[in-house]
């Protein structure tokens, strides 16, 4: 995609498949070798690369910003292809809107990065538009001036090219895609713009090579069957595209970007923010009234959220208290159960201790009795011996 900004500044944006010849055409269109980066068909996502150049031809100075969509249409999920482009354009509108809303604005020297023209490159299939092309242009037609371009138009015959142009325009109309129409209200350009509107889309050929035709060198593409001259209007629409884009309709492209596409974005954005020109009774509403209403609404919403948060906090505190009380009851129950088990175990131990003490006492008594029984025979024998000794002493 190509975005052109002229400031004289034009910002073109050019979407199209990888390898379709976008960079070559840009170099040819502005007769400059722009800084190009090679890209493959395996980019994980679409990347938008913006480059700004200061060009000068004769006494005309041109500030050109080119935005290239690297990897457009190469992903499995085609929706992401156009979404990156839409987001980029909206971002440029948002930057301009933020500058407009400042108290101290500097729009006179603001670097306007809005996209003024979209050169949408169409593959020269000769059959019909791809679904990705239709969906993408439908998403972009309310945001940017779309100029459809058939790339590498020298790859199909003139009769096929004519039928292909009719087929493309028919599909665009049937699908409700609004491309940029060159203005015809100005008498000075009405005739040429009417003619140019009749040959859309432009069938172009780009080439950085020069071939000698007669006595002069011209940009062309040379084939075994002949030479296709880039600036020969009988061969392609390159000259028509360059004149329409840079010479005739540059200012209208910029004006359409501001008055149509940017104003639509601005209106939708302000409506989303709650701003309106009239009240429900269709009476004018001042910015101050809208501000006060939004402020009152914001404060009311803030109080409502605070009350909701307070209620939620109270509810959570109650829930937490209930959980803690339930946990306390569970702990108390477990404590009572452990206390009961402890008491039962203590009773059992006391019972066992008393039983053991009784056994010890019984055993001690039995032991004492046994010792007494064992000690009696010994004492009897000793007494008998003493008596015997006394008897013997008496005889003596």
> 208-227, pLDDT tens digit by residue?
778 888 788 878 887 787 78
Model confidence at 384, pLDDT cuts 50, 70, 90, reads: low
- SS3 of the chain: CEEEEECCEEEEEECCCCCCCHHHHHHHHCCCCCCCCCCCCCCCCCEEEEEEEEEEECCEEEEEEEEEEECCCCCCCCHHHHHHHHHHHHHHHHHHHHHHCCCCCCHHHCCCCCCCEEEEEECCCCCCCCHHHHHHHHHHCCCCCEEEEECCHHHCCHHHHHHHHHHHHHHHHHCCCCCCCCCCCCHHHHHHHHHHHHHCCEECCCCCCEEEECCEEEEEEEECCEEEECCCCCCCCHHHHHHHHHHHCHHHHHHHHHHHHHHHHHHHHHHHCCCCCECCCCCECCHHHHHHHHHHHHHHHHHHHHHHHHHHHHHHHHHHHHHHHHHHHHHHHHHHHHHHHHHHHHHHHHHHHHHHHHHHHHHHHHHHHHHHHHHHHHHHHHHHHHHHHHHHHHHC
For 7, the token pair is 């400031």
Residues 204 and 25: beta-carbon distance below 8 Å: yes
Write the pLDDT tens digit of every residue in 172-198.
999 999 999 999 888 888 899 999 988
The answer, yes or no, to whether residue 145 has pLDDT greater than 90, is: yes
Statement: residue 329 has pLDDT above 50: yes
Using one digit for the tens of pLDDT, what is the confidence trace for 273-297? 777 777 667 677 676 777 777 788 8
Mean pLDDT, residues 89-112 taken together: 85
- Is residue 183 within 8 Å of residue 189, measured between CB atoms? yes
Tokens of 376: 């009696």
Sign, CA dihedral 83-89-90-95, equals positive
Tokens of 183: 């203005």
pLDDT of residue 9: 45
The CA distance from 373 to 96, in Å, is: 124
pLDDT value of residue 5:
42
Which of 1-10, 130-139, 281-290 shows the lowest mean pLDDT across its residues? 1-10
Band of pLDDT at residue 2, cut at 50, 70 and 90: very low
pLDDT of residue 259: 92
Mean pLDDT, rounded, for 323-335: 92
Cα separation, 373 vs 370, whole angstroms: 5
Whole-angstrom Cα distance, residue 221 to residue 76?
A: 34
CA distance 107 to 245: 24
Q: How far apart are CA 13 and CA 26, in angstroms?
A: 11
| pLDDT band per the 50, 70, 90 thresholds, residue 6 | very low
Which band of pLDDT confidence, cut at 50, 70 and 90, is reported for residue 34?
A: low
pLDDT score recorded for residue 19: 55
pTM above 0.95, yes or no: no
pLDDT tens digits for 75-90? 556 666 788 888 889 9
pLDDT of residue 242: 85
- Number of residues assigned to the chain: 396
pLDDT at 21: 60
Residue 235 has pLDDT above 80, yes or no: yes
Interval 43-86: pLDDT, tens: 656 777 777 777 766 666 777 788 877 777 665 566 667 888 88
- Residue 380: pLDDT band (50, 70, 90) is low
Q: What is the overall mean pLDDT for the chain?
A: 80
What's the confidence (pLDDT) of residue 218? Answer: 79
């Amino acid at each position: 995609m190509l975005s052109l900004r002229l400031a004289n500044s034009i910002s073109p944006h050019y979407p199209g498949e990888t390898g379709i010849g976008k960079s070559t055409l840009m170099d040819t269109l502005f007769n400059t070798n722009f800084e190009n980066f090679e890209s493959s068909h395996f980019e994980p996502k679409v990347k938008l690369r913006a480059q700004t150049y200061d060009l000068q031809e004769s006494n005309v100075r041109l500030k050109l910003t080119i935005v290239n969509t690297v990897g457009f249409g190469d992903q499995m999920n085609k929706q992401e292809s156009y979404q990156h482009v839409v987001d980029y354009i909206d971002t440029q509108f948002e930057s301009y809107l933020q500058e407009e809303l400042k108290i101290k604005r500097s729009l006179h020297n603001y670097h306007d990065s809005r996209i003024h023209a979209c050169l949408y490159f169409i593959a020269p299939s000769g059959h019909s538009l791809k679904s990705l092309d239709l969906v993408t242009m439908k998403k972009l037609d309310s945001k940017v001036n779309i100029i459809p371009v058939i790339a590498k138009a020298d790859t199909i015959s003139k009769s096929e090219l004519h039928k292909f142009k009719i087929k493309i325009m028919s599909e665009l109309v049937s699908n409700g895609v609004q491309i940029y129409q060159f203005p015809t209200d100005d008498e000075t350009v009405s005739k040429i713009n009417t003619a140019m509107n009749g040959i859309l889309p432009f069938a172009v050929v780009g080439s950085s090579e020069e071939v000698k035709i007669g006595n002069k060198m011209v940009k062309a593409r040379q084939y075994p069957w002949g030479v296709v001259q880039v600036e020969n209007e009988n061969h392609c629409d390159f000259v028509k595209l360059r004149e329409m884009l840079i010479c005739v309709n540059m200012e209208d492209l910029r004006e359409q970007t501001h008055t149509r596409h940017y104003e639509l974005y601005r209106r939708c954005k302000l409506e989303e923010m709650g701003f309106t020109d009239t009240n429900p009774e269709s009476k004018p509403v001042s910015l101050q009234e809208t501000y006060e209403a939004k402020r009152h609404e914001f404060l009311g919403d803030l109080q409502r959220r605070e009350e909701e948060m307070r209620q939620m906090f109270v509810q959570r505190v109650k829930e937490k208290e209930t959980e803690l009380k339930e946990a306390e009851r569970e702990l108390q129950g477990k404590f009572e159960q452990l206390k009961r088990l402890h008491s039962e175990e203590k009773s059992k131990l006391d019972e066992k201790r008393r039983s053991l003490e009784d056994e010890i006492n019984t055993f001690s008594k039995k032991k004492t009795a046994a010792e007494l029984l064992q000690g009696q025979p010994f004492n009897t024998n000793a007494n008998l011996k003493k008596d015997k000794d006394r008897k013997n002493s008496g005889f003596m």
